[in-house]
Amino acid sequence: MIHPVALSIAIRYVSTGLGLKGGRRYVRFVSRASVVGIVLGTAALIMVVSVMNGFDRELRSRLLNVTPHLTVDATVRSWSLLDFDGLRKVSPYLSSEALLLGQQDGRLFRLQGLSPEDPQVSLIRKALRSGRWWTTDDVAPIVIGEGIAYQFGLSVGDAVQVALVEVSEQGDQVIPKIVSFTLTGTYALGAETDHRLAMTDLGSLSSLLGRDPVSRVDLDDPMRVRAVSAELIQSGLKINNRWDSEFGAFFQAVKLEKIMMGLLLSMLVGLALISLSSGMRIVMLEKKASSQILVALGMTPKICRQIFFVQGAVFAALGIFLGACLGVLGTVILPAIMETVQSLTGFSVVSGSYFSELPVELRLFDTMVILGAAMFSSLIVILLAIRSASQRSSLFDLK
């Protein structure tokens, strides 16, 4: 427990250290610099982590909305799958690797066969940049990403030559099959899928490949794909594919990048804590005479140490609180700031990427982890600084 007398004196020291009057100028400067350093370090860490969270959210949303979370063997009835918890939608689906043939080169991409009730259809309809979605009257229609169309100079109505891969019934031969599709529209989601994904009618693709559709399963929470797939396997169902087998490594890389950016920016907070440690030693030396007077009046060295501990803790808490406020405010207004900068200078930090504006997402858990880690580190640094200064400088020695 903190002694009431120590708390009262520490508050006076805090007001002297951060106030306009009282105490030495150098001591006031060091105290303020320590607080400002913690403010800037905490705010920068919150803002950068929020930006990384925004990129992670947008990438997950754009990729997972056009990727089956699970595909199950076609012999399973859709209504029986919906009996499992966490499953949102089940629809017929088919996909194949394909090669788009150009005049001088080609491009590998994934061709999806979609049914009208597939939830991906409404998403792509909204993302159409030219043309239209196919109807039942269209023969061998195809909708491709805007990036692919631009690369090959394709326009709506053009014939698109695609090489599909067929495996012989014996499974010992791979037979390429050249098919001509009609381009009915192009889409843009602002993700890598714009350059590697195309869609066609499920019936057309099934006839061309000679394969029956599988069951596409969309989950309420795609992050639970492993748990759900394990439950389905235990029930005797065959899982053909999962989204994390295709994009899992990519999202792990994004997560690792977020962690590394957080560690790098933690160095700013670390430098501020070094400044806080140095400042506490200077304050203790400046208050050496006062400490010896208090000891002479009967105060124990333990209570004297509590005075400086409370003072340092208040400095740290004030810096972390102001840093949290600045970081949250900066996160909220950061997209608007970057938009203003772009309109005035033409510079954009997201130019050349799939994003039209800077994505941010402020997560309570990440913010609380940052604040808690900063406060814990501050208290450790303060304790070490007090212990070191009291041992080396004989602060409480009356001799």
Taking only the tens place, the pLDDT of each residue in 165-203 is 766 556 566 677 888 999 999 998 877 788 888 999 998
Average pLDDT of span 107-135: 89
DSSP string covering 32-98: HHHHHHHHHHHHHHHHHHHHHHHHHHHHHHHHHTTS-SEEE-TTS-HHHHTTSTTEEEEEEEEEEEE
Q: Is residue 243 part of a domain?
A: no
Contact 67, 247 (CB under 8 A): yes
The separation between CA 283 and the C-alpha centre of its own chain, rounded to angstroms, equals 41
In the chain, beta strands by DSSP E: 70-72, 87-101, 106-114, 128-131, 141-145, 159-167, 174-187, 197-201, 214-219, 239-242
Each as own residue / partner, the long-range contacts of residues 83-86 (CB below 8 Å, 24 or more positions apart, any chain) are: 84/228, 84/231, 84/232, 84/235, 86/219, 86/220, 86/221, 86/224, 86/227, 86/228
Whole-number Å distance between alpha carbons of 104 and 234: 49
Same domain, 230 and 81: yes
Same domain, 281 and 345: yes
Closest CA to 241 of 68, 30, 11, 40: 68
Which of 135-139, 197-201, 320-324 bottoms out in mean pLDDT, i.e. has the lowest?
135-139
What pLDDT is recorded for position 165?
73
Average pLDDT of span 387-394: 68
Same domain, 168 and 43: no
Q: Is residue 379 part of a domain?
A: yes
Q: Is the pLDDT of residue 394 over 80?
A: no
What pLDDT is recorded for position 328?
94
Of residues 287 and 309, the one with the higher pLDDT is 309
Q: Is the pLDDT of residue 20 over 90?
A: no
What pLDDT is recorded for position 171?
56
Q: Is residue 245 part of a domain?
A: no
Q: Is the pLDDT of residue 314 over 80?
A: yes
First to last CA, the chain: 29
What pLDDT is recorded for position 170?
60
What pLDDT is recorded for position 321?
94
Q: Is residue 398 part of a domain?
A: no
Same domain, 13 and 87: no
What would the pLDDT profile of 65-111 be if each residue is shown by its tens digit? 888 888 887 655 555 666 677 788 888 889 888 889 887 788 888 89
Q: Is residue 22 part of a domain?
A: yes
Same domain, 221 and 94: yes
Token readout for 224 is 């639970």
Same domain, 149 and 225: yes
What pLDDT is recorded for position 367?
92
What pLDDT is recorded for position 81?
65
Q: Is the pLDDT of residue 316 over 80?
A: yes
What pLDDT is recorded for position 194?
83
CA separation, residue 150 to residues 62, 65, 153, 158, 338 (Å): 20, 23, 5, 13, 28
Same domain, 265 and 389: yes
What would the pLDDT profile of 324-344 be if each residue is shown by its tens digit? 999 999 999 988 888 887 778
Average pLDDT of span 313-325: 91
What would the pLDDT profile of 220-274 be if each residue is shown by its tens digit? 888 888 888 888 888 777 788 888 877 777 777 777 877 888 788 788 788 888 8
Q: Is residue 81 part of a domain?
A: yes
Highest mean pLDDT among 254-268, 314-328, 379-393 belongs to: 314-328
What pLDDT is recorded for position 297?
74
What pLDDT is recorded for position 269?
81
Average pLDDT in the chain: 81
Q: Is residue 267 part of a domain?
A: yes
What pLDDT is recorded for position 80?
60
Residue 183: give the domain boundaries: 74-237
Same domain, 260 and 382: yes
The percent helix, strand, coil of the chain (3-state, each to 5) is 55, 20, 25
Same domain, 52 and 111: no
Q: How many domains does the chain have?
A: 2
Same domain, 116 and 174: yes
Coil/strand/helix, residue 153: coil
Average pLDDT of span 134-151: 88
DSSP string covering 158-203: -EEEEEEEEE-TTSS-EEEEEEEEEEEEEE--SSGGGGTEEEEEHH
What pLDDT is recorded for position 235?
77
Length of the chain: 399
